[in-house]
């Protein structure tokens, strides 16, 4: 596809007044920052919840000071009850997967940088964009409200399997209005994401600057584009699933509930539904969702690495096609979450083949990174350290997938800490590293100031070692048969494993505390950081050709023209060791 022939004169008027500039902004940059800010609040909330969980697992009888006042039903006297642990677990997962991992790398950085990287003035639909953020914000508020329900927040996990999540409060505390609010929050979140994905797709296809062919877009732009294609289809399935769940809960329907269930001594008045239907609908969304969480980070890391290495990847095209294959294959594998769910065991085998096959593009991506590092001149800084850390985490998280992709091994490892280790490595660490790398890289552009590099590196080293200390042992626990989602380990079987859990909890507290260094750095640099030049990293893509921070219409009055791809590093004969994408300087190829 060629570049856009016509650029609209002005997508929207220059913002005036506090409300238009900072609250109901139509500017993709402000919206991106709003998403990022929301993700920041969500990640610290999610982290604190995980601290309570890790504390309770190791010291179950401890009275946590202050918690009794915040949660008098869930933690009377500060001692976490079994149901409160499960609601911490549910809210931790929901906040992290939806409000952090879908928000920050995709809606946050994507909103901010996709239009700039393709040379556009703003997104194609600025009003949709604003609505998508505020819908997401309302979804967040609805979710947090669940903490204040007297009966408690939901306890069915971020996966909310039926019939536990569908029969209502007979099934336990937190399954009354807490679960209703959860389903409503996620439904709203889906709407926000659908609006956002539409915007990304339309913008990428229609608003590229002159000379910006699809193959000349930076890899992270491709990652956001592929992610939004996945998101459009995935969230379109989760939204009706949540609505059906709400109907079962509030309107007496039985999509997910069969007859004859006796819950809490009460025969439930439902018939004809299928619990497996919920699982299929949820995981049909849920598996592509994890690629929505990781692909933007793959794009960001590639982008940062290229700049840091002062050389292009071995092949950007291969990287892009690999991301596309992952996007395509991601639709065929959802049943690997359901190998022992009671679905036809032949289906389990069928699902395992595309699951194993996804290893190939994932390996290609990893080998492209590794191979590109050969012969490079890596500039080590906080951004590049987190990008390199990402590669390490992607490998670690990825290889545990080999095990879980095979149904026969999954018989033993399903629902153990091995699974928890796997997804935390890829999502809880690798994807977060992608967000952090992007933050350190783009903070100068977004705020006009540099972050403190020393604090950034301290943050990196504690986080890198710390997350390995937390999540590598999860795999060992799983191999021994440590079951997940247990609020306490009361069995004799678990007694010898408690020292491992203690080690993990302490590592989690230390690593979590180190994130406060990052938070301090972020806030302090925003107001007191050294003033940033236009192109502090000597990078080539279009965001580095405009002021830091950019003006409201990104490129001012002039529309950029692009002459080649953004990988012109180490170019023979050029003035520096790089050529910017909008520079007409002759280059070898691109």
Partner 1 sequence: MRATAGYVVGIAALAACAVIVHAGPSGGTVSGKVTYEGTPAKQKPIDMSKEPSCAKQHPTPITSETVVTGPSNALDNVVVYVSAGAPDESAPGQAAKFEQKGCQYIPHVLVFQVNQTLEISNADQTSHNIHPLPKVNREWNKSQPPGSAPIDEKYDKPEFIPVKCNIHPWMHGNFAVLKNSHYAVTEGEGGFSLAGLPPGKYTITAWHESYGDQSQDVTISGNETKTVNFVFKAKPY
Partner 2 sequence: MGKFFGVILVLITLVSAYPIVTHKFVQPVDISTHGHAIDEQLADTMAEAGLAFVGAQLLLAFFVWKFSNRKEGSKVVHLPGGAKLMVATAFILVGTEVLALGVLGQKAWADVYFTAPKPDAMQIQAQAGQFAFYFRYPGADGKFGPLHPDKIDEGNQNYFGLDPANDVEARDDIVTAELTIPINREIHLLLHAKDVGHSFYVRELRLQQDFVPGLDLSLHFTATKTGKYEIVCTQLCGLGHYNMKAYLNVLPQDEFDKWLKDRAAEQ
Footprint on residues 124-163 left by partner 2 (CB under 8 A): 155-157, 161-163
Q: Which residue is listed with tokens 């929207």?
A: 12
- The span from the CA of 7 to the CA of 290, in Å, is 35
Binding of residue 267 to partner 2 (CB under 8 A): yes
Residue of 81, 392, 535, 583 interacting with partner 1 (CB under 8 A) = 81
Binding of residue 406 to partner 2 (CB under 8 A): yes
Q: Which H helix or E strand runs over 203?
A: helix 177-206
Report 457-496 residues binding partner 1 (CB under 8 A).
Answer: 488, 490, 492
Binding of residue 83 to partner 1 (CB under 8 A): yes
Nearer to partner 2, 215 or 490 (CB): 490
573 binds, among partner 2, partner 1, none (CB under 5 to 8 A by kind): none
Binding of residue 557 to partner 1 (CB under 8 A): no
Report 251-310 residues binding partner 1 (CB under 8 A).
Answer: 264-265
Q: Specify burial of residue 475 (Cβ count, 10 A radius: 0-12, 13-18, 19+).
A: buried
Binding of residue 411 to partner 2 (CB under 8 A): yes
Binding of residue 79 to partner 1 (CB under 8 A): yes
Provide CB contacts within 8 A for 46, sequence distance 6+. Answer: 91, 92, 95, 96, 99, 100
Nearer to partner 2, 115 or 312 (CB): 312
Binding of residue 498 to partner 2 (CB under 8 A): no
Residue of 137, 147, 489, 503 interacting with partner 2 (CB under 8 A) = 489
CA distances (Å), origin 211, targets 2, 65, 111: 8, 61, 22
Q: Specify burial of residue 549 (Cβ count, 10 A radius: 0-12, 13-18, 19+).
A: middle
Q: Which two tokens stand for residue 83?
A: 């149901």
The least CB distance from residue 410 to partner 2, in Å, is: 8
Binding of residue 409 to partner 2 (CB under 8 A): yes
- The span from the CA of 522 to the CA of 531, in Å, is 14
CA distances (Å), origin 179, targets 91, 133, 153, 215, 524: 11, 23, 7, 45, 39
The least CB distance from residue 322 to partner 2, in Å, is: 9
Cross-strand pairs, 266: 263
Binding of residue 58 to partner 2 (CB under 8 A): no
Residue of 468, 518, 552, 567 interacting with partner 2 (CB under 8 A) = 468
Residue of 6, 9, 17, 61 interacting with partner 1 (CB under 8 A) = 61
Residue of 29, 92, 208, 414 interacting with partner 2 (CB under 8 A) = 414
Binding of residue 318 to partner 2 (CB under 8 A): yes
387 binds, among partner 1, partner 2, none (CB under 5 to 8 A by kind): none
Binding of residue 260 to partner 2 (CB under 8 A): yes
Binding of residue 353 to partner 2 (CB under 8 A): yes
Cross-strand pairs, 531: 449
Binding of residue 420 to partner 2 (CB under 8 A): no
Q: How many CB atoms lie within 10 A of CB 6?
A: 7
Closest listed residue to residue 362, CA positions, set 453, 291, 442, 258: 291
Nearer to partner 2, 148 or 353 (CB): 353
Residue of 126, 172, 421, 466 interacting with partner 1 (CB under 8 A) = 172
- The span from the CA of 62 to the CA of 57, in Å, is 10
Site string for partner 1, 336-365 (x = CB under 8 A): ------------------------------
Q: Which two tokens stand for residue 515?
A: 């994130």
Handedness of CA 198, 203, 206, 212 (dihedral sign): negative
Scanning 207-218, the segments in alpha helix (DSSP H) are: none
Question: What DSSP string runs through 446-477?
Answer: HHSBPPPHHHHHHHHHHHHHHHHHHHHHHHHH
Nearer to partner 1, 83 or 565 (CB): 83
Q: Which two tokens stand for residue 136?
A: 């997401």
The least CB distance from residue 134 to partner 1, in Å, is: 37
Interface contacts to partner 1, rule CB under 8 A: 60-61, 73, 76-77, 79-84, 172-173, 264-265, 488, 490, 492
């Amino acid at each position: 596809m060629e570049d856009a022939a016509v650029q609209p004169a002005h997508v929207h008027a220059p913002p005036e007044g506090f409300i238009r500039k900072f609250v109901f902004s139509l500017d993709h940059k402000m919206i991106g920052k709003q998403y990022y800010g929301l993700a920041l609040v969500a990640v610290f909330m999610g982290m604190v919840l995980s601290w309570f969980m890790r504390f309770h697992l190791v010291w179950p009888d401890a009275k946590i000071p202050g918690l009794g006042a915040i949660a008098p039903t869930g933690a009377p006297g500060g001692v976490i009850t079994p149901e409160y642990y499960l609601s911490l677990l549910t809210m931790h997962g929901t906040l992290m997967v939806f409000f952090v991992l879908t928000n920050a790398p995709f809606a946050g950085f994507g909103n901010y940088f996709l239009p700039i990287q393709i040379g556009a003035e703003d997104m194609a639909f600025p009003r949709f964009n604003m609505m998508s953020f505020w819908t997401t914000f309302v979804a967040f508020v609805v979710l947090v409200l669940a903490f204040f329900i007297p009966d408690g927040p939901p306890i069915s996990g971020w996966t909310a399997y039926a019939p536990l999540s569908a029969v209502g409060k007979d099934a336990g505390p937190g399954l009354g209005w807490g679960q209703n609010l959860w389903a409503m929050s996620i439904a709203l979140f889906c709407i926000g994401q659908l609006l956002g994905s539409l915007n990304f797709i339309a913008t990428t296809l229609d608003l590229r600057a002159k000379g910006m062919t699809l193959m000349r877009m930076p890899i992270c732009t491709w990652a956001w584009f592929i992610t939004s294609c996945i998101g459009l289809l995935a969230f379109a399935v989760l939204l009706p699933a949540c609505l059906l769940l709400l109907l079962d809960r509030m309107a007496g329907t039985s999509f997910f509930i069969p007859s004859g269930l006796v819950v809490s001594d009460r025969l439930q008045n439902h018939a004809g539904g299928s619990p497996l239907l919920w699982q299929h609908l949820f995981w049909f969304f849920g598996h592509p969702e994890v690629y929505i969480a990781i692909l933007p980070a793959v794009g960001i890391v590639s982008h940062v690495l290229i700049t840091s290495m002062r050389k292009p990847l071995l092949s950007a095209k291969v990287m892009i096609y690999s991301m596309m294959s992952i996007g395509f294959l991601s639709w065929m594998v959802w049943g690997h979450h359901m190998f022992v769910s009671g679905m036809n065991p032949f289906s389990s085998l069928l699902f395992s083949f595309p699951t194993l096959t996804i290893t190939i593009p994932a390996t290609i991506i990893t080998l492209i990174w590794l191979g590109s590092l050969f012969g490079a001149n890596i500039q080590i800084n906080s951004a590049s350290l987190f990008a390199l850390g990402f590669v390490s985490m992607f490998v670690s998280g990825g290889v545990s997938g080999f095990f879980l992709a095979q149904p026969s091994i999954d018989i033993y490892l399903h629902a153990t800490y091995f699974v928890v280790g796997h997804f935390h490595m890829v999502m809880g660490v690798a994807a977060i590293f992608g967000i952090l790398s992007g933050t350190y890289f783009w903070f100068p552009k977004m705020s006009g100031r540099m972050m403190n590099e020393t604090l950034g590196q301290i943050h990196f080293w504690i986080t890198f070692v710390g997350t390995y200390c937390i999540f590598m042992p999860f795999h060992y626990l799983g191999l021994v048969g440590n079951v997940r989602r247990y609020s306490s380990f009361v069995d004799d079987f678990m007694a010898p494993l408690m020292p491992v859990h203690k080690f993990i909890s302490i590592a989690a507290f230390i690593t979590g505390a180190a994130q406060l260094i990052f938070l301090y750095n972020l806030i302090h640099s925003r107001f007191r950081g050294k003033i940033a030049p236009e192109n502090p990293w000597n990078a080539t893509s279009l965001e580095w050709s405009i002021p830091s921070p950019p003006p409201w219409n990104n490129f001012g009055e002039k529309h950029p023209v692009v002459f080649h791809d953004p990988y012109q590093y180490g170019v023979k004969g050029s003035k520096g060791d790089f050529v910017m994408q909008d520079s007409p300087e002759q280059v070898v190829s691109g």
